[in-house]
Amino acid sequence: MQREMAFRGHRTLAVDLPGRGTGFTRAYQTQDLATFAAEPSPIADVTGQQWVGHVVDAVRRVREHGPVILVGHSLGGLTITGVANEIPDLLDRVVYIAAQCPVTMAGADYVAEPEWASSALFPAAAQITMTNPAECGYIRLNWRTADPAVFDALREALGAGATDEGFTASLNGFEPDEVWWQTNPTFDIRVEKDTWGRVPHSFVRLTEDKSMPLAAQDRYIREADELIPNNPFDVHNASGGHGTFLNRPEEVADILSGLSE
């Protein structure tokens, strides 16, 4: 994606959030699953405010060099929402690519709503979950599963339209450890009318997304528009599943490029 944006003449920065990059241990590489499942993770202690604060610091630095458009995908929507709540005057736009944008309830509560019922992500991810998140405080996933049926389930959930080769390339970049945001109150980050509501905001709907169904994406859009009718979402559509654009970025890159004009 950054390469495609550079081809279109834009400067971009991928912000590494606190705790990201953990879980890539020797046991994960060698698939010593017993050891892998038992290893602790520093991501267990990460909070939502740490993520927000880290990105706020990054925005303050890059803002010195020009306008800032902040983009989030999937769970990243919580972070960009928190940043827009905190420093709305430093942002020219926030963009949600099939990303969480809680308005009326905590993000974790949305996934129990009817709009999420058809999500293929949770049953697929359950098959590669190595820990009990409620006990250890984080989610550990074995993306390198050797089970072909599980691989197909993950591709169905995350890579609709992707080839085996393309989806495998994406999987190799997926991180094993994830925050247990569902029960951590610091990740209850919602749109605030008086701050977030002042920032222009766009939503890129992924039309073949089977992880975050279109009904779920549309609910975020609808609830935000109801809260802030004088500054509604600018909505765009892109083909592919939840992660397809990671290895076929051209269509989403065109949308993002247009937003900066």
Q: Sketch the domain layout of the chain as residue ranges.
A: 2-259
Instruction: State whether the Cα torsion 15-17-18-24 is positive or negative.
Output: negative
In terms of pTM, does the model score above 0.75? yes
Separation of alpha carbons 190 and 210, rounded Å: 23
Please spell the DSSP secondary structure of 196-226, one letter per residue: GGGS-EEEEEETT-SSS-HHHHHHHHHHHHH
pLDDT tens digit sequence for 133-174: 989 999 999 999 999 999 999 999 998 777 888 888 888 889
Separation of alpha carbons 75 and 80, rounded Å: 10
pLDDT tens digit sequence for 175-222: 999 999 999 999 999 999 999 999 999 999 999 999 999 999 999 999
What CATH number should be reported for the domain whose range is 2-259? 3.40.50.1820
